[in-house]
A and B are shown apart, each in its own frame.
Chain A
Amino acid sequence: MEFAFTEEQAMIAETAKAFFAENATSERTRKAMANDGVDRELWANFCTELGLSGVGIDEALGGAGLGMVEFAIIAEAAGAQVAAVPMLGLAMVARALAAGGSDAQKAEWLPKLISGEAIAACEGMPSLDFDGATLTGVIDPVPHGAVADLFVFVSPQGAWIVRADAPGVAITAHTTMDQTRPFARVTLDKAAAEPLADAGAAIAAIHQGGWICLAAEALGGAQACLDRTVAYAKERIQFGRPIGSFQAYKHRLADMMIEIEQARSAVYWAACAADEGAEDAAMALHAAKSFCADTYFMCAGNMIQLHGGIGFTWEHDAHLFFKRARSIQTMLGNGNMHREQVAMMVLGEAA
């Protein structure tokens, strides 16, 4: 039984954790929130100095090799600080290119994405109108849509690359509840679009990268909510005792930990199953996305409640976790959708 981090994986975890804890501070994240939602210096450092942006992408394609387990470790660390970085777009688009792009598409975009020179965003729509050269439709909302240089849009009919600066692309930034990953509306009016060579493979890679990224982020965020609330519970005195000594309080913290440990199993089951091509890999992805999102929201809600009034203030970081958690719950399919996929696997289609 080796369902535990290897030494190398433990080292990556330590490095990534330290990097985000030190650099993705509340102050810097809030600065990004007041701007366009990206801490560009942080992202540049992550991509170049730390060199972890290519994890999970083949070395032959300019990536750093390794797999989804290592990628999840990094996304978990970023999520723990609600870091304002375009990691989700990278997770989906770089994988889509690697799995379904042509050689020219890979060569043009992967180095720029991995170096942080270009920011990517990705979104799916029930239908988009492709005429063989251009794409028309409204895609709304697109996470990090206003800062992206490159989009991959998918619909059941295919998957396409669209440059943000192409004629016919109009981007309107939304004021978004989660300011660490704000949305934009992208309107395409006969915008130049390049189909990805293998749309099926690209979409599968987008699902894998996106769901694991969000699940791991949620795990990191949930654990941070617990850690920060535990610290507060030990400090804060009421009725002459630390509030963490009251069972009504500590039991909620215990409940958070019970969910988080399951979420941890879910993330690393999904990541491992993806890397190994295990037969339960598809179920693992749906399980991880739905379970971790719910866990994060439960923990972030508890964080506010257990901090009392201060937890409801703008000044405290609790709302950063809470809003990110809410956002993740709906993003890339809500819990009911993912659980229905699991239900299909065990019960078949509903009559």
Chain B
Amino acid sequence: MKLGFSRAEEDFRAECAAWLKGQMAGEFADIKGITTLTAKAERRKEWEQQLAAHKWSCIGWPEEWGGRNASLAQQVIFAEEYARAGVPGRVNHIGIELAGPTILAFGTDEQKKRFLPGIAAGQTIFCQGFSEPDAGSDLASVRTKARLEGDKWVVNGQKIWTSLAHISDWIFVVSRSEEGSKGPKGLTFLMMPLDQPGIDVRGIKQINGDAEFNETFFTDATCPADSLIGAVGGGWQIAMGLLAFERGVSTLGQQMGFRNELDAIIAAAKANGSANDPLIRQRIAKAEIGLRLMRYGALRMLSNTDHSKIDGAALTYKIQWATWRRNLGELAMDVLGQMGEVTDNPEYEWDMLPNLFLFSRSDTIYGGTNQIQRNMIAERALGLPREPRGDV
């Protein structure tokens, strides 16, 4: 058992850190430090093309598709250095982390040739069409309909919480292709171009005033017949396979962002004297300990090379970080005091810490609410029986 990375891995770290730092000090200095998902989207697409040009876009992919065949450790290190250098998050993270690996695993050769180069190059931006107004936590109850008409699929329905759909090119859609089917059966996984008359994307304003999420409406929207991944009616397996690609590569990078937030709170507490309050000191210590434990928990998860059985500990990670960050947002407001509720931006835009306070309310909801996470931990890791399900 060892805490750190190997010498070779540290050399790799130095290589990516140097390159990223150089980029953020040079041509792309104007996007350094952006923390929202939507700001300067066009410049960020250019940045992602720059990443691709230097083969840093999708290092975990096979070399023939623009990757470096990087090991899990290297991917983790890259994600960490990416965040440390203050590089904004990937506009195309759905394409790189979810759509691409899904196509690599389940797509046809023709689909790989059609999609992977564009995704890798930062020119084909993907978003995810999973949730619907009546299919949130209960994802398998999606109702968006797809029917095959001649050489194309015709899709009708509505998706929601489609992050960044307004700046994306493609959407993957879990649709009900078998009339009258229920639950996970009869679903088909389709890749659809967003730029067409049958698709209407409308932003949803969030509690922090930003609009990263969208509603996406499908009215006789179409895509070619061969746009499906997997089999007709086999969409659920693809959707579940896709979610399994999140093997924690981004965790340490994400934690680097958390580190910055906690450091900002520590600095604010020292500046305004709340660092002398024993209760605030206790809470900051708890936050510090929680963040460190997150890091070592992630390293434990990533060091686990046995993928033949469910890693119960890994299932606890989502609720752990989400709850930690929500608490951090509350701590930030207690440190800032009433003036934390004031912004000098007339457009209702917020500085890092008040924005953290507001945004973190979504952390415990998206990607599986805390309640769903507890069900998953209890049922999959602890083997407890399922709560009987309704039939409505």
- Residue in contact with A340 in the complex, picked from B270, B282, B387, CB distance below 8 Å: B282
Q: Does B386 have its Cβ within 8 Å of any Cβ on chain A? A: yes
Is B292 a contact of A283 with CB atoms below 8 Å? yes
Is A6 a contact of B1 with CB atoms below 8 Å? yes
Question: Which one of A174-182, A190-198, A245-253 is at the B interface?
Answer: A245-253
In the bound complex, residues from chain A placing their C-beta under 8 Å from that of B72 are 1
Q: Does B3 have its Cβ within 8 Å of any Cβ on chain A? A: yes
Q: Does A69 have its Cβ within 8 Å of any Cβ on chain B? A: yes
- Residue in contact with B385 in the complex, picked from A244, A261, A345, A350, CB distance below 8 Å: A244
Is A339 a contact of B289 with CB atoms below 8 Å? yes
- Residue in contact with B1 in the complex, picked from A69, A245, A283, A339, CB distance below 8 Å: A69
Is B297 a contact of A261 with CB atoms below 8 Å? yes
A258 with B285, Cβ < 8 A, contacts A1-B299, A230-B384 known: no
Is A250 a contact of B375 with CB atoms below 8 Å? yes
Q: Does B165 have its Cβ within 8 Å of any Cβ on chain A? A: no
A253 with B378, Cβ < 8 A, contacts A291-B289, A340-B285, A351-B276 known: yes
A230 with B289, Cβ < 8 A, contacts A254-B378, A265-B297 known: no
Give residues of chain B (301-335) contacting chain A, Cβ–Cβ below 8 Å. 302-305, 312-313, 316, 319-320
Give residues of chain B (260-302) contacting chain A, Cβ–Cβ below 8 Å. 266, 269-270, 273, 275-276, 278, 281-282, 284-286, 288-290, 292-294, 296-297, 299-300, 302
Q: Does B382 have its Cβ within 8 Å of any Cβ on chain A? A: yes
Q: How far, in angstroms, from A98 to B258 measured CA to CA in the complex?
A: 41
Q: Does A9 have its Cβ within 8 Å of any Cβ on chain B? A: yes
Q: Does B24 have its Cβ within 8 Å of any Cβ on chain A? A: no
Q: How far, in angstroms, from A272 to B3 measured CA to CA in the complex?
A: 7
Is A269 a contact of B296 with CB atoms below 8 Å? yes
Shortest distance in angstroms between A173's beta carbon and chain B's nearest beta carbon? 35
In the bound complex, residues from chain A placing their C-beta under 8 Å from that of B312 are 257, 261
- Residue in contact with A343 in the complex, picked from B284, B305, B382, CB distance below 8 Å: B284
In the bound complex, residues from chain A placing their C-beta under 8 Å from that of B269 are 347
Is B278 a contact of A3 with CB atoms below 8 Å? no
Is A268 a contact of B385 with CB atoms below 8 Å? no
| Chain A residue with the shortest CB-CB distance to B299 | A3
Is B304 a contact of A251 with CB atoms below 8 Å? no
Is A290 a contact of B304 with CB atoms below 8 Å? no
Is A264 a contact of B300 with CB atoms below 8 Å? yes
Is A234 a contact of B384 with CB atoms below 8 Å? yes
Is A262 a contact of B293 with CB atoms below 8 Å? yes
Q: How far, in angstroms, from A246 to B76 measured CA to CA in the complex?
A: 37
Q: Does B90 have its Cβ within 8 Å of any Cβ on chain A? A: no
Q: Does A312 have its Cβ within 8 Å of any Cβ on chain B? A: no
Tell me how many residues of A have a C-beta within 8 Å of chain B. 53
Give residues of chain B (350-384) contacting chain A, Cβ–Cβ below 8 Å. 371, 373-375, 377-379, 381-384
Q: How far, in angstroms, from A217 to B72 measured CA to CA in the complex?
A: 33
Q: Does A107 have its Cβ within 8 Å of any Cβ on chain B? A: no
- Residue in contact with A262 in the complex, picked from B266, B270, B281, B297, CB distance below 8 Å: B297
| Chain B residue with the shortest CB-CB distance to A270 | B296
A255 with B374, Cβ < 8 A, contacts A230-B383, A233-B384, A245-B387 known: yes
In the bound complex, residues from chain A placing their C-beta under 8 Å from that of B266 are 346-347
A291 with B293, Cβ < 8 A, contacts A250-B378, A258-B316, A350-B275 known: yes
| Chain B residue with the shortest CB-CB distance to A284 | B292
| Chain A residue with the shortest CB-CB distance to B71 | A1
Shortest distance in angstroms between B294's beta carbon and chain A's nearest beta carbon? 8
Is A287 a contact of B300 with CB atoms below 8 Å? no
Q: How far, in angstroms, from A244 to B388 measured CA to CA in the complex?
A: 12
Q: Does A242 have its Cβ within 8 Å of any Cβ on chain B? A: yes
Q: How far, in angstroms, from A264 to B316 measured CA to CA in the complex?
A: 12
Question: Which one of A39-47, A78-86, A118-126, A273-281 is at the B interface?
Answer: A273-281
Is B378 a contact of A251 with CB atoms below 8 Å? yes
Is A254 a contact of B377 with CB atoms below 8 Å? yes
Is B385 a contact of A3 with CB atoms below 8 Å? no
Q: How far, in angstroms, from A342 to B284 measured CA to CA in the complex?
A: 9
A278 with B377, Cβ < 8 A, contacts A2-B303, A247-B387, A264-B313 known: no
- Residue in contact with B382 in the complex, picked from A3, A230, A339, CB distance below 8 Å: A230
A4 with B303, Cβ < 8 A, contacts A250-B374, A257-B377 known: yes
Is A343 a contact of B293 with CB atoms below 8 Å? no
In the bound complex, residues from chain A placing their C-beta under 8 Å from that of B377 are 254, 257-258
In the bound complex, residues from chain B placing their C-beta under 8 Å from that of A226 are 382
Is B282 a contact of A280 with CB atoms below 8 Å? no
Q: How far, in angstroms, from A190 to B159 measured CA to CA in the complex?
A: 81
In the bound complex, residues from chain A placing their C-beta under 8 Å from that of B387 are 245-247, 250
Shortest distance in angstroms between A297's beta carbon and chain B's nearest beta carbon? 15
| Chain B residue with the shortest CB-CB distance to A281 | B3
Highest count of chain B CB atoms <10 Å: which of A4, A261, A336: A261
Highest count of chain B CB atoms <10 Å: which of A1, A246, A278, A280: A1
Q: Does A241 have its Cβ within 8 Å of any Cβ on chain B? A: yes
Q: Does B245 have its Cβ within 8 Å of any Cβ on chain A? A: no
Shortest distance in angstroms between A335's beta carbon and chain B's nearest beta carbon? 9
| Chain B residue with the shortest CB-CB distance to A2 | B2
Highest count of chain B CB atoms <10 Å: which of A242, A272, A278: A272
Q: How far, in angstroms, from A258 to B375 measured CA to CA in the complex?
A: 12
Highest count of chain A CB atoms <10 Å: which of B282, B285, B304: B285
Is A343 a contact of B282 with CB atoms below 8 Å? yes
Is A3 a contact of B320 with CB atoms below 8 Å? no
Q: How far, in angstroms, from A242 to B388 measured CA to CA in the complex?
A: 11
Q: How far, in angstroms, from A251 to B319 measured CA to CA in the complex?
A: 12
| Chain B residue with the shortest CB-CB distance to A72 | B1
Shortest distance in angstroms between A329's beta carbon and chain B's nearest beta carbon? 15
In the bound complex, residues from chain A placing their C-beta under 8 Å from that of B296 are 3, 265-266, 268-269
Shortest 8 CB-CB distances between A and B: which pairs?
A: A250-B378, A339-B285, A254-B374, A343-B281, A254-B377, A342-B285, A244-B384, A265-B296
Would you give 10 A-B contacts (Cβ < 8 Å), ordered by A? A1-B9, A3-B2, A69-B1, A230-B383, A254-B373, A262-B297, A262-B320, A339-B285, A342-B288, A346-B285
